[in-house]
Amino acid sequence: MKLSPRYLELQLAHTFTIARSSADIEPCIIVELEHDGIIGFGEAAPSERYGENKTTVMNFLKQVDLTRFKDPFQLDEILSYVDAIAPHNTSAKAAIDIALHDWIGKRLGVPLWKLWGLNKELTPVTSFTIGIDALDIIEKKVKEAEQYPILKVKVGVPNDEEIIKTIRKVTDKVIRVDANEGWKSKEQARDKILWLEEQDVEFIEQPMPAHDLDGTAWLREHINIPLIADENVIQLYDLPTLKDAFDGINIKLMKCTGLREAMRMIHTAKAMKMKIMLGCMIESSVAISAAAQLSPMVDYADLDGNVLITNDPFRGVTLSNGKLILNEKSGLGVESR
Amino acid sequence: MKLSPRYLELQLAHTFTIARSSADIEPCIIVELEHDGIIGFGEAAPSERYGENKTTVMNFLKQVDLTRFKDPFQLDEILSYVDAIAPHNTSAKAAIDIALHDWIGKRLGVPLWKLWGLNKELTPVTSFTIGIDALDIIEKKVKEAEQYPILKVKVGVPNDEEIIKTIRKVTDKVIRVDANEGWKSKEQARDKILWLEEQDVEFIEQPMPAHDLDGTAWLREHINIPLIADENVIQLYDLPTLKDAFDGINIKLMKCTGLREAMRMIHTAKAMKMKIMLGCMIESSVAISAAAQLSPMVDYADLDGNVLITNDPFRGVTLSNGKLILNEKSGLGVESR
């Protein structure tokens, strides 16, 4: 098995700003895993929030020696080995996991959704993300997002209310709000959310800093719409800790190390009767298509990373009025443009 | 897709007695699922404890109309349909789940352990079950079980202590104890277990009636070896309720409706840091081989249903000094004798 990573920069259509950061380009590492004449594609979209960047991903991938394994079917053995190389580095690990799954699907001649016994008609409608921006730009973005029936709005800044009012002025679409840990006290978060409830917001993602789980549990008792964990849920073992603080979880392949761990988290969240959202970073169609393969199992999708960029090097999952459309191609169902 | 069930009786080598029942033969329904020239095998081993018997299984299977589906890959759609036909009937549902998985593995040309990315070398050693019996017969059975390094001993009767003493007189093997809900008060269970701890017993399965979860939680605080849930854990949604009462769970395909649900339970139990045991009823090599496919993921196996019978119509997974040996054949890896 041969692993070849290449670095590229994803160009954002608009400067992308959330509570803690702002960017015009985002790093992306595409990996090709070649074995027995078949190439599996994977992708790492590193996030500084989790201590990763272009350099950490490339350095991690350099340490991965897959020649010791027989073939990509050995998922448990390979992924245990990769996981033990170093802690964290979750997007680098996800790149390998995704490439292995693409290879297996291609080898068996079936798309992953079929390999997993899922119903591809049950994919959800993805939300379209409106980043933090000047109010006139936000209004323009909302108008441009006409084809998307659900908006995910980034807040967690002093003028949150103005942002929401600006959007509500031009649309009555479903709005989901993502604070990205931006509210610093539980009382502030409560006041913000009680106001947002009046603006007909469906749910709130990660209102408080991840370290303040007790504050979030208090908050949940004082509001009426669901709270979805994002920065608070990285991998499987985090789930049982969230029971009192959150109603649901946002699973991202780049946080959790890939499809195999995401599947485990989906089953566990269902057992706990928590809502499940599939989210993303700014990603190409490789990683977005990978997550989309799991999407018939989840309640909410926020898989718009590839439509926020202008130079996607791949095509895979598509959208029809926001609904994720899986194809019949093997593996991830992606091909180079 | 065509589903053909046939009834047969499994002959026990010894009368099999547990705390609540006794039998010389056990009912077994083998199903053949035929589609596109491939036959998938499944099996139902109905248990009266869960309201099933030969008649309920045959009646349930008669109601299943798979002609409405395109192919066995549609696991989620087919199994949701089957599940909605009637509540319970878990072994009848498992027969269909197992047959679908066997068909898929055969169609793709891979064993299930490989399809699931597991390491087949990581299978556990199965325990060998010693049913309740006259003490001289128990001694004889223990001697006959020479090739099995781990014994699972059925208790929950007035002379539990005599049974264990008889076994400990002739062997220092690992002993696991299964009370099958046989102890009726938490104080009785505590006294029994504290004594069993001195006899070097590894863990206790289902000490108290399933309805007394509070009593079991109390019990757990007063003993020192792990408690494994059996009758208390049927399907996925039971797991979060067990956190305070049990250290682990016994998953049986016949209780949980099959491989797909078992996989969900395994992932959830791992998230909860609970120990996982794979158990069985009296079953042929079809159902035992199905469970064995999952076994690289679990801590303990009690998959001896097929070695307790004398007329197994199939061969599949084998044992080497008690260790489950998976083969390289597609699907379940079983064939008719």
Report d(CA A257, CA A239) in Å as an integer.
15
For chain B, give the mean pLDDT.
97
pLDDT confidence of residue A110: 98
For residue B240, give the nearest of A119, A271, A296 by CB distance: A271
Q: Tell whether the model's pLDDT for residue A45 goes beyond 90.
A: yes
CA A6: distance to chain centroid?
A: 21
pLDDT confidence of residue B19: 80
Q: How far is A15 from chain B (nearest CA, A)?
A: 38
- CB neighbour list of residue B246: distance below 8 Å, 6 or more residues apart: B216, B220, B227, B228, B229, B232, B233, B274
pLDDT tens profile B128-159: 999 999 999 999 999 999 999 999 999 988 99
- Is the Cβ pair B264, A272 closer than 8 Å? no
Note whether B267 contacts A: Cβ–Cβ < 8 A: yes
Per-residue confidence band for A181, with pLDDT thresholds at 50, 70 and 90: very high
The CA–CA distances, whole Å, from A241 to A89, A210, A213, B49, B332 equal 22, 12, 9, 34, 37
Using a cut of 0.90, tell me whether the model's pTM lies above it: yes
* Residues of A whose CB is below 8 A from B331: none
Beta carbons of A113 and A293 less than 8 angstroms apart: yes
* Residues of B whose CB is below 8 A from A264: 267, 270-271
For residue A75, give the nearest of B73, B117, B239 by CB distance: B117
Mean pLDDT of the region A103-129: 98
pLDDT confidence of residue B29: 98
Angle at Cα A214 formed by Cα A208 and Cα A218, nearest 5°?
80
First to last CA, chain B: 25
pLDDT tens profile A59-95: 999 999 999 999 999 999 999 999 999 999 999 999 9
Q: What's the full length of chain A, in residues?
A: 337
Beta carbons of A332 and A105 less than 8 angstroms apart: yes
Secondary structure of chain B in HEC code, one letter for each residue: CEEEEEEEEEEEEEEEEECCEEEEEEEEEEEEEEECCEEEEEEECCCHHHCCCHHHHHHHHHHCCHHHCCCCCCHHHHHHHHHHHCCCCHHHHHHHHHHHHHHHHHHHCCEHHHHCCCCHHHCCEECEEECCCCHHHHHHHHHHCCCCCEEEEECCCCCHHHHHHHHHHHCCCEEEEECCCCCCCHHHHHHHHHHHHHCCEEEEECCCCCCCHHHHHHHHHCCCCCEEECCCCCCHHHHHHHCCCCCEEEEEHHHHCCHHHHHHHHHHHHHCCCEEEEECCCCCHHHHHHHHHHHHHCCEECCCCCCCECCCCEECCEEECCEEECCCCCECCCEEC
Mean pLDDT of the region B16-27: 89
- CB neighbour list of residue A17: distance below 8 Å, 6 or more residues apart: A23, A131, A132, A133, A154
Note whether A77 contacts B: Cβ–Cβ < 8 A: yes
Tokens 């869960």, residue? Answer: B50
For chain A, give the mean pLDDT.
97
Per-residue confidence band for B20, with pLDDT thresholds at 50, 70 and 90: confident
CA torsion, points A288, B115, B298, A84, in degrees to nearest 10? -50
Q: How far is B137 from chain A (nearest CA, A)?
A: 43
pLDDT confidence of residue B314: 98
pLDDT confidence of residue B21: 85
Percent of chain A with pLDDT over 90: 96
Secondary structure of chain A in HEC code, one letter for each residue: CEEEEEEEEEEEEEEEEECCEEEEEEEEEEEEEEECCEEEEEEECCCHHHCCCHHHHHHHHHHCCHHHCCCCCCHHHHHHHHHHHCCCCHHHHHHHHHHHHHHHHHHHCCEHHHHCCCCHHHCCEECEEECCCCHHHHHHHHHHCCCCCEEEEECCCCCHHHHHHHHHHHCCCEEEEECCCCCCCHHHHHHHHHHHHHCCEEEEECCCCCCCHHHHHHHHHCCCCCEEECCCCCCHHHHHHHCCCCCEEEEEHHHHCCHHHHHHHHHHHHHCCCEEEEECCCCCHHHHHHHHHHHHHCCEECCCCCCCECCCCEECCEEECCEEECCCCCECCCEEC
Closest CA to A179 of A201, A149, A148: A201
Report d(CA A251, CA A229) in Å as an integer.
9
Note whether A118 contacts B: Cβ–Cβ < 8 A: yes
Beta carbons of B256 and B94 less than 8 angstroms apart: yes
Q: How far is A208 from chain B (nearest CA, A)?
A: 24
Here the tokens at position A216 are 């979030």
Mean pLDDT of the region A9-23: 89
Report d(CA A199, CA A187) in Å as an integer.
19
Q: What's the full length of chain B, in residues?
A: 337
Single-letter amino acid, residue A146: E
pLDDT confidence of residue B223: 98
Mean pLDDT of the region A48-60: 97
pLDDT confidence of residue B27: 97
- CB neighbour list of residue B128: distance below 8 Å, 6 or more residues apart: B145, B148, B150, B151, B152, B304, B307, B322
* Residues of B whose CB is below 8 A from A75: 116-118
A vs B, Cβ pairs < 8 A, gives 75
